[in-house]
Chain A
Amino acid sequence: DAGITQSPRYKITETGRQVTLMCHQTWSHSYMFWYRQDLGHGLRLIYYSAAADITDKGEVPDGYVVSRSKTENFPLTLESATRSQTSVYFCASSESLYGYTFGSGTRLTVV
């Protein structure tokens, strides 16, 4: 099915563990984005990518790593999870100037 999918939908992990959130889109959109959503902060951009092998930092990149070896995939890795990274994470993609399409989100809890 065409679209943008995130996995897992829910994840609980322990402090200090590495965890990877997956994002896959089927449209071959050039741009992909990772946001986190927290109460009182709205959506904050973590990282984005303009094309395969091109990534750049957003507003809150510390503690996160991304890669984009293929156009359709944009995984987000928390190298050593902290409680402050408990959040809902959204992936989005875009081909044009006219807005983003969002995935359904991953709810991550770090205990």
Chain B
Amino acid sequence: AQSVAQPEDQVNVAEGNPLTVKCTYSVSGNPYLFWYVQYPNRGLQFLLKYITGDNLVKGSYGFEAEFNKSQTSFHLKKPSALVSDSALYFCAVRALNRDDKIIFGKGTRLHILP
């Protein structure tokens, strides 16, 4: 069965510092990996995805994520955090050769401190 783990419920980062939100996954075969962001009282918004190719994926709002197959990880990163990055972040995975269900992690709340 496929699964996603976000080991941190909350991450606090000072504005201007680099940030990392961690994600590990378990899936049979090759994965499709996603990051979504949720702002207060809003639905989830797509940030970026990894399908194949370069392990470093660039997405919206200056975010990027690195796919590491050996560690089964897909950590979200940003070189310099903004207060406006404060939100709830979800990692998600689906298996390459299965139906179209995506499994979401439980989410990590990111607080950027001014």
The tally of CB-CB contacts under 8 A between chains A and B is: 48
Contacts of A50 in B (CB 8 A): 99-100
B46 touches A42 (CB 8 A): no
Q: Which of A70-111 contact B (CB under 8 A)?
A: 90, 92, 94, 97-105
Is B51 close to A, CB under 8 A? yes
Of all chain B residues, which has the CB nearest A38?
B106
Chain B window 31-75, contacts with chain A (Cβ cutoff 8 Å), 1 for yes, 0 for no: 010101000011111100101000000000000000000000000
Task: Tell whether A40 pairs with B42 under 8 Å between CB atoms, given A50-B99, A97-B32, A97-B94.
Answer: no
Q: Which of A22-75 contact B (CB under 8 A)?
A: 31, 33, 35, 40-43, 45, 48, 50, 58
Chain B window 99-113, contacts with chain A (Cβ cutoff 8 Å), 1 for yes, 0 for no: 111101111000000
Complex CA distance for A103 and B44, rounded to whole angstroms: 8
The count of residues in chain A whose C-beta lies closer than 8 Å to any C-beta of chain B is 23
Complex CA distance for A79 and B85, rounded to whole angstroms: 39
B102 touches A100 (CB 8 A): yes
Instruction: List the 4 shortest-distance A-B pairs measured between CB atoms, nearest first.
Output: A42-B106, A102-B43, A43-B104, A102-B44
Contacts beyond the supplied A58-B101, A100-B102, A103-B43: 9 A-B pairs with Cβ under 8 Å: A35-B104, A40-B106, A43-B104, A43-B107, A50-B99, A99-B34, A99-B49, A104-B42, A105-B41
Identify 23 residue pairs between A and B in the complex whose beta-carbon atoms are under 8 Å apart, listed by A's number.
Answer: A31-B100, A33-B101, A35-B104, A41-B106, A42-B90, A43-B44, A43-B104, A43-B107, A45-B101, A50-B99, A90-B44, A92-B44, A94-B100, A97-B51, A97-B94, A98-B49, A99-B34, A99-B49, A99-B102, A100-B46, A104-B42, A104-B43, A105-B41
